[in-house]
Amino acid sequence: MVLKRHLTGSKFLGKQLGIVSSHNSEQVPVGSVHEKCTVDSDKRDMIAVEQVNSDDLERKDSKVHSFCRNEIPSLVLLTSLYFLQGLPMGLMFGSIPFLMQERASYTQIGIFTLATYPYSLKLLWSPLVDGYYSRRMGRRKTWIIPVQTLSGLSLVLCGKKIESWVENVQVTPLTVISFLLVLMVATQDIAVDGWALTMLSKTFIGYASTCQSLGVTCGFFSSFTGFLALSDEYFCDTYIRFFIGGQGALLSLSGMLILTGILYLCLTAVLIILKREDPPPRSASTCKVSTFFHQLYRLMQLPNLRTLIGVLLLAKIAFAVQDNVYSLKLLERGFRRQDLAFVAIFQLPFQVLGTILIGRWSTGVKPLSPYLLGYKLRLILMIPCTLVIVLIEKNNQSRYFIWVVILNILYHIASDVLMFVSMGAYFARISDENIGGTYLTLLNTLQNLGGTWPKLLALLFVDRLTWKHCESQSSLLDMTHEVVCKVWVDGYYLCSFLCLLVGALLMPWIQLRIRYLETLPPESFALDE
């Protein structure tokens, strides 16, 4: 009885589970139920995976679309604005000193370099650029548009007299006009630096320094190397006139200034018409200039920032002679301007490619590692660069041309790419955007000042430490009078050795502080509320 009842219950339970069938049905194995459940589970998992992959693809497509729509136009605009900065800088820092070299002394060229100081002292009026603006026009466009317009008009007007000033070595008007132009370029740089912090997203903020280096390098190349090549009759007749006919130089200094001014005005018009700036927050309009100066004072009290400032002001002492006298010495030793133009043409692709690659390296865990590598490489390259000057003789420089090309490429990669780009990316990383472009301007100003303040001293000491004996020689046949000078001690070599010694002594100190700065989070450079 009990056994019968147990069997009946088992059949009932089997029917409920689908394991035991009725008399008219076939018996279903237990394993088939498990396989069916497993298949259903696998299907659900596959559907879930497909949904996840679909969501990932949609997010990636959204990121790509956002990058193409927002980031690429911003990167192009920033590079174009920095390109405009490079044009006057190439003229004032490169072309004009080169053209004056044949008639002016190193001291006169050093006086002219005073015109570059506004770029290194722009911190003094950066709070004005951050504090005063029109909300209707935009916080940055309020300054960029009028400054670029004035720069363009000034370049066009000065183009008519610049050649006579250079030919007659009229240092005073050249210095005054160049000072005003650099002042306007520095003001534009303040606004562009501040705009870069808000124009680019957090993901791409590190590429602001890449845009700056790429734009300034191309602009500097165009108005320095490109202009020197196109203004040289031999270069144009040999390499360009063959295709377009005619003879003589294609571009004069006056024409270069006028062309640069027109480009300024055209790009400013495009900026007015096509680019709309996002309005600043309401809280930004309540800030006073005195508040910004107070914030600058508080920034200078940050111990980590003081460490960085010490590195920026001392690191470039070692390269003062190499950066400012080396090219002039090549000309003095018989190199032609078109030869140096060829050197710069060779090095430009390496600089552009290096800028892009180092921009990615500088966004990593150790953003200042390229800076240290560039510093050491520049110190090492100073030795062969000085030896090349020793070996080159007048009218016999062709055998050393390839060495000059290689050394220039390596040196500019070390300075303009490794050191400049990595430090610029680090600036963008640690800058506190709550005070707009003032923080970034402070850091860029100190970096520029670190390369500017030794410049005049280098030119002055090279001139003063050069000992030479001059004799007057007259010819009765053709009634000519000539002064022949024999150099006993060349101050270039003495100053180069002293700079190399200073750089070697500073290197352990700089390396120790750079490694320390790399370990700090960006919050350690921010102001407390």
Q: 283-334, pLDDT tens digit by residue? A: 554 456 677 778 888 888 899 999 999 999 999 999 999 888 888 888 787 7
Q: For residue 319, give the DSSP letter.
A: G
Pick the CATH number of 72-278+290-521 from 3.30.1380.20, 1.10.10.10, 3.40.605.10, 1.20.1250.20: 1.20.1250.20
The type of residue at 340 is L
Treating both helix axes as pointing N-terminal to C-terminal, what angle do 289-300 and 303-314 enclose, rounded to 10 degrees?
A: 80
- Domain spans in the chain, listed from the N-terminal domain onward: 72-278+290-521
Q: Collapsing DSSP states into helix, strand and coil, what is residue 481? A: strand
Specify the pLDDT at position 285: 47
Reference 408, options 430, 388, 438; nearest CA is 388
Q: Which two tokens mark 39?
A: 């298949």
The type of residue at 420 is F
- As a whole number of angstroms, the distance between CA 95 and CA 92 comes to 7
The length of the chain in residues reads: 529
Do 20 and 14 meet the contact criterion of CB atoms below 8 Å apart? yes
Reference 97, options 338, 335, 337; nearest CA is 337
Do 316 and 454 meet the contact criterion of CB atoms below 8 Å apart? yes
Do 343 and 404 meet the contact criterion of CB atoms below 8 Å apart? yes
- b/e per residue, 257-279, with b = 16+ CB within 10 A? bbbbbebbeebbeebeeeeebee
Contacts with 440 (C-beta within 8 Å, 6 or more apart), sequence order:
193, 194, 196, 197, 427, 428, 431
Residue ranges of the chain with pLDDT lower than 70?
1-70, 279-289, 337-338, 341, 359-360, 363-364, 393-399, 433-437, 472-484, 529
Phi-psi region of 204 (alpha: psi -120 to 50; beta: other; left: phi over 0): alpha
- As a whole number of angstroms, the distance between CA 130 and CA 24 comes to 91
Reference 333, options 389, 385, 387; nearest CA is 389
pTM (2 decimals)? Answer: 0.67
- As a whole number of angstroms, the distance between CA 156 and CA 181 comes to 12
Largest CA distance in the chain: 153
User: What are the beta bridge partners of residue 469?
Assistant: 486
Using only the alpha carbons of the chain, give its radius of gyration: 33
Treating both helix axes as pointing N-terminal to C-terminal, what angle do 141-158 and 171-199 enclose, rounded to 10 degrees?
A: 150
Specify the pLDDT at position 502: 95
Taking the alpha carbons at both ends of the chain, their separation in whole angstroms is 88
pLDDT tens per residue across span 363-420: 667 888 889 999 999 999 999 888 888 887 655 666 677 777 788 778 877 787 788 8
- As a whole number of angstroms, the distance between CA 18 and CA 9 comes to 14
Specify the pLDDT at position 431: 81
